[in-house]
Each structure stands twice: as C-alpha cells, then as structure tokens.
Amino acid sequence: MANSKASWIDQIPEGDFITPEPSYEVGKYFDRFKSDEAAGMKYYFFDPSEHGYPKEKNYPLLIFLHGATNALVGETCINYTGAEYYASDKYQEDLGGAYILIPIANEYKLEDGRCAGFWDETYVDPVMKLIDAFIEKHTEGVGVKFLLGNSAGARFTFTLATSFPDKFDVLVPVGTDAIPDDDVMDELEKNGVTLFFADGLRDEIVSHEKIEARRPRMERMKNSFIYTPEWVRNADKGIASINFGFEMGQHCLMNGVQSNLMFLDGTPMDPRLPNGMTGWMAEELKRRESNK
C-alpha cells in the first residue's frame, strides 16, 4: 500500500511545499524521436539534422541510460531517462545541436512481478556495439560523447566507463553510490574524462555515506562538478515527492536535470549553474574545443 505522506514531511523548511509531479509535460517531444535496433536491443534517437541543423557537423552525442523497469513503459522511457526535453528547440540551441541516443535494456517481468534483464556487466559489449552501430548508420560522425545515466543507469554509466575509460568524454551519473575505486578514477582522469556527479542528500535509495566517502576523490578530478542538493526540487520549486508504494521523490534528481536544473522563474537550481545543465554542457564543449 502506498504511503500517505513522505516520512520527511515534518523536516521540510517552514513555508516550503511538496509537488508530486515534474513541472513539464511528459510526451511533448516524443514525435521528435525515431527508433531502431542494434546488437539485439531497441534504441530511440534524435537527429538534429532533421530539425534545422546541417548534417555535416560533428555534433556532440548525448547517450541516456534509463533506470530499472523503465524499459517496460514503452516510449515513456524516453522521458524517464531525462532525455526528452534535450530534443527541444531551446536545449538544442544551447548546445548548437546534439544527437541523442537512448539504448533500451531487454527487461522483462518475472512471475512474482519483479523485473529482470536490467543493466549489468553482460550489457557492456552489446551497448558499445549499439553505440557504434548508431553512429555509423545515423550520423556523419559525432564529437564529444556525454554518457548520462539515471539510477540503475547511473550505476551502469560507471560500469561502461570502467570497461572503456577512453570511449566517453563526459560522465553524468545521477542517483548512484556505485562510484569506482581510485584506480578506475585515475584511469578516467588520465583519459581526460569530465565528471558531473549528481545525487540528493536525502536520496531514499542510495547511501549518501558511501557517496561522501568517495567525494574527495571525485573532487580531486581535474574536471568535475559535484551537485548534491539538500532537497531535490521540481522546476516549480516544490520538493519532489513521488510515491510508488514507497517515497522516492528525492531519488528522482534526473527530473531536475530534464528541467535543465532551472526553475520556471528562470533562476538556477544551483547558483554555480547560472545557465543550467545545458549551459554547463555548452561550456564543457567550448573548453574542449579550446584545448584542441
């Protein structure tokens, strides 16, 4: 049975409020995505050259990895990954155009209702083959590769990067405490990988103690940004409360990332990000271009 209220409701700041849903319309940009298959998996993708951008440029590639069970909701998975609004005119303009790729795990329901087939080590090679197949078939070549993951997808972001530390330029794991050991982090840094790590301090699913233990190493990376807000909020500034039988609103920081880490009134969710997530991505692209 679903909880009637969040266990932390008496801890919210005086005058604050809770909102149960993200501050955006789910499905608004689904028609901008196409689907295909490779390496035994389905994937969704967005091609900027079909939306006003010339085809010859090597655009950045944003790869979004969904959370557990999200493959079971059809095209709604596009939104659950946090990818949908990155196909919007505004986000695309901020980035100067970008490909979006959403691999879909072969998840299925067991007889007892549990989910199986979600991201694990067995997917590493197939996902890498899927990425290569997409690039070869649907692009003229890509530039900087951003690997973004939500929840179980965030854990798998690190799994992929551990196996292929030289294949991705920017990692954006959102909602995981499965942070690699120092030797892996050293290898990522050696390969020039940038890390944007995000998780709420009150996440109901991951251990913030484990995150805090690894924070010093993440902060020592040459290029890293650590975002751990006290409260996960929706774009209307309400504290996120999403109840699926247990409270998990603070675990859903990817909803804020999909809102560009910006509030509806135009102010940033973090003052260090005056132009939101796409602004940070655009600066990262400029930095890499200037370092060539």
Q: In percent, how much of the chain has pLDDT > 90?
A: 91
Mean pLDDT of 42-51: 97
Distance of CA 80 to the CA centre of its chain: 9
Which residue is it, tokens 């929840």?
A: 151
pLDDT at 104: 98
> In whole angstroms, what is the distance from residue 195 CA to residue 188 CA?
9
pLDDT (tens digit, 9 = 90+) per residue, 114-133?
899 999 999 999 999 999 99
User: 8: buried, middle or exposed (CB in 10 Å: 19+, 13-18, 0-12)?
Assistant: middle
- Topology of domain 9-290, per CATH? Rossmann fold (3.40.50)
Q: In percent, how much of the chain has pLDDT > 70?
A: 98
This prediction has a pTM of 0.96
Task: At 103, list the tokens.
Answer: 């691999």
Does the pLDDT value for residue 5 go beyond 90?
no
- Mean of all residue pLDDT scores within the chain: 95
Mean pLDDT of 13-37: 95
> In whole angstroms, what is the distance from residue 41 CA to residue 236 CA?
36
Q: Are 29 and 84 a contacting pair, CB within 8 Å?
A: yes
Q: Which of 29, 68, 16, 72 has its CA nearest to residue 240?
A: 16
Q: Are 236 and 15 a contacting pair, CB within 8 Å?
A: no
Q: Which of the four pLDDT bands, split at 50, 70 and 90, describes residue 73?
A: very high
Sorted by sequence, the CB contacts under 8 Å of residue 14 that are 6+ apart come out as: none
Task: At 272, list the tokens.
Answer: 């260090």
User: 50: buried, middle or exposed (CB in 10 Å: 19+, 13-18, 0-12)?
Assistant: exposed
pLDDT at 2: 44
pLDDT (tens digit, 9 = 90+) per residue, 179-218?
999 999 999 999 999 999 999 999 999 999 999 999 999 9
Does the pLDDT value for residue 1 go beyond 60?
no
Q: What is the signed CA dihedral for 207, 210, 211, 212, rounded to 10 degrees?
A: 120
Does the pLDDT value for residue 14 go beyond 50?
yes
pLDDT (tens digit, 9 = 90+) per residue, 140-183?
999 999 999 999 999 999 999 999 999 999 999 999 999 999 99
User: 74: buried, middle or exposed (CB in 10 Å: 19+, 13-18, 0-12)?
Assistant: exposed
> In whole angstroms, what is the distance from residue 246 CA to residue 134 CA?
37
pLDDT (tens digit, 9 = 90+) per residue, 248-270?
999 999 999 999 999 999 999 99
> In whole angstroms, what is the distance from residue 95 CA to residue 60 CA?
8
Mean pLDDT of 94-107: 97
Task: At 145, list the tokens.
Answer: 């590769």
Mean pLDDT of 234-242: 95
> In whole angstroms, what is the distance from residue 215 CA to residue 62 CA?
25
Q: Which of the four pLDDT bands, split at 50, 70 and 90, describes residue 4?
A: low
